[in-house]
Structure 1
Amino acid sequence: MKDTPDPGPTFPIALPIQLAVNGKRHQLDLDPRASVLDTLRDRLGVMSVKKGCDHGQCGACTVLADGKRVLSCLCLAASYDGADILTAEGLGTVDQLHPMQQAFLDHDGFQCGYCTPGQICSAVGMLDELAQGMPSHVTPDVRKVAELNDAEIRERMSGNLCRCGAYVNIVSAIREVGQGQAASAALPMPVAREVTR
């Protein structure tokens, strides 16, 4: 009688994972190797997230995970258990677009549109990083909050490729939204008034 080799430890075929995607909570049993990108597209039918290179080089799959921009093709879904994932289609509605979505339309910031959802998510995350004072490679003084200018926008968006070459219009769209956010942040907050009856 032959000795059978020890198969080694057994691992679960699927892991229970919970994700909130565009405000809707999902309980899933996933292969531990499943990426956030494949989970969104193949399991949840969220098609705004695009698979471009599948190697983290093009940015087409960019989403916001707990408010931070990530390349979903490089993220294991198991590592994002409990996370809030926001895609471009979750930023606004058809009747009320997110300001970044509207700016991309107004400035014609797309041609074929394949990279656009990732560009929009990256732009929203990038403006938040800028507002938090995170410097970039081109920030002149890392001790100060960077000024929103074209060089900062280009550097911070350099991970998102547009094969059609709509970069000039993408930068214009992001600049408009960023300047609008800066202007609204500079406005004084309304004073709460006591309500009497």
Structure 2
Amino acid sequence: MAEWKFLPFAQTALKNLFSAPVTTGYPFEPAQYPDRMRGHVSIQIENCISCGLCARSCPPGALTVDRKAGTWTINRFDCVQCGNCVNVCPKKCLSIVPGYTQPDVAKHSDTFTRPQQPAQAARPGAKPVNDAAKCVYCTLCAKKCPQEAITVDRAAKSWTLDAEKCVGCGLCAASCPKKCITMQ
């Protein structure tokens, strides 16, 4: 009686023995990733302006940006590859690339440092300028500024820019309904 229970297993084993293998010849053949695979976040650090929008939009808090040091850090273990950081990046220096990150025995973070540039050539002509004749002082530019570099006073009809805080991301110009802000 016990032999009859063993036969269905033997039949499956024999079928698998004579069928083609399911696995690929890894590492000799490159991995084929599924169409809907999320991949992992990649950065072109030379294009990053350290605005911090990616870190603010990251649900698990896997990203940190240090503007003064010019660094961008991702904790790969905490990242869920949702793509929020890629969607909000004003300079489009973030992307999700196919493939898995290399496994490791401990949690670690990847830190990327922006290359140093001469002071005058760091961001030529990247500061917003407001045309007061067109401005309606709606405060949208100040609300969109990731560094809070713009101050708008509707009562006094004043628009001021803190040039030290401004990173030149251009979100203020993009959000202006009257198109009175230009990047110069």
TM-score by length of 2: 0.25
TM-score by length of 1: 0.24
- The structure carrying a bigger strand percent of its residues is 2
- The structure carrying a bigger helix percent of its residues is 1
Greater gyration radius: 2
